[in-house]
Structure 1
């Protein structure tokens, strides 16, 4: 490795005590040292102590993972000049905020951008063929729609559609660049984050759906092995199937539920409209 650490995929059994069988699931780890005399490689895995394995053990743990293309891939962590200057921060802020604005107003973006929010809010209360009031009337479709709203907002992001994370980033920029527009946008995205959480929780707020919400929250903070994680997912899917079979739904309940969700989305959009206006002004004026 020539003294340069690298990230690589290995069979999860290397760290969970499971047998390393063919076509196993992978996890990523970091190789930090190679000893050619002893033919060993030292790994630093998550928060554990250093683990020393033979080169052959690593090769076996690589060749048995199910995803072929990862078996020979590595990501090298090259040293670089990490000196942070006000000029670098200013330049990077313009570049990164430019990307944010591009995604927010790009019609082709379908996840969490401002354009998507406009469409989402309309679809939630629409009775057209593509409207949620038409598409998700039956129990299976309704439960799945509500489940995945919660799943994608909470479990697949920072818990609030990445709004808390972005607010933290804007707060850092404000502390370094002292531009009030960054602070205003930061505060608004903080408000927006709370509404995203409200939307996520409301999606599974009907009494039969509440256990799914609780189980997804537990899954989000699950630090077990990949095998245990998959078992939790399987149990949630079974529970979801039971809910679909027993939930008592009618058109009025569905309409009320989606109408309330659309109001939350509208509130999110109004706040993020204002937040992005501050960022647009900043982006246009920064040198």
Structure 2
């Protein structure tokens, strides 16, 4: 959120209605009005524009970061190599190993930085909402993860992946009536669903919390006034602290989502399949 209370009026919901009472955030903020192409498949609202902006900025950054790389890196290249190396070593290679890690590195690397970019817009002044705070994007990302681990399993074990996923070895035949439905739900339904819901709800909760803090700051300063204006110091301090925390959550959720995707791929590649 914006770091200055005076700027809050333009980017936050009105903290006080005509009755002079405080009105907190609502879920309506995640369904902003249409800005362009209303009624068409290309309909754009504020969140869609934020997503397009993030994609454009990521493409520009990656183009600049990889355009003139040198053997003796400069400061910018060092930072970029650190970021790429962190994802490569701590998520991809650590989970999948060198050989399989290289195969899936492009999509997993792109997934991590894409999610970070979409998440971090929730604390950027003027944007103030995460591109991943509406269910569509988390669902698409979960679908990508779903396709990746199923593709990996079928490619590595075409004749046994589905069988061993649904009918684990060593289980008495009569228990398959219980085990197989559980395995099907946990492997092929709950995995993508939990990935999408975890990312979505963290971004929704973070946005609501920040809006609540800064809306309260606006209310105490410009509507309540007088002695109540002192409360704005506390709400602003909480808002600032939660902004830093939300930055951590934005990166952490990208890490968790990408790591779990890599883990699912590794499980699909395991020799028991």
**Shared fold (TM-score greater than 0.5)?**
no
* Interval containing the TM-score (normalised by the shorter chain): 0.3 to 0.5
Structure with the largest fraction of strand: 1
TM-score, normalised to structure 1, is 0.32
TM-score, normalised to structure 2, is 0.33
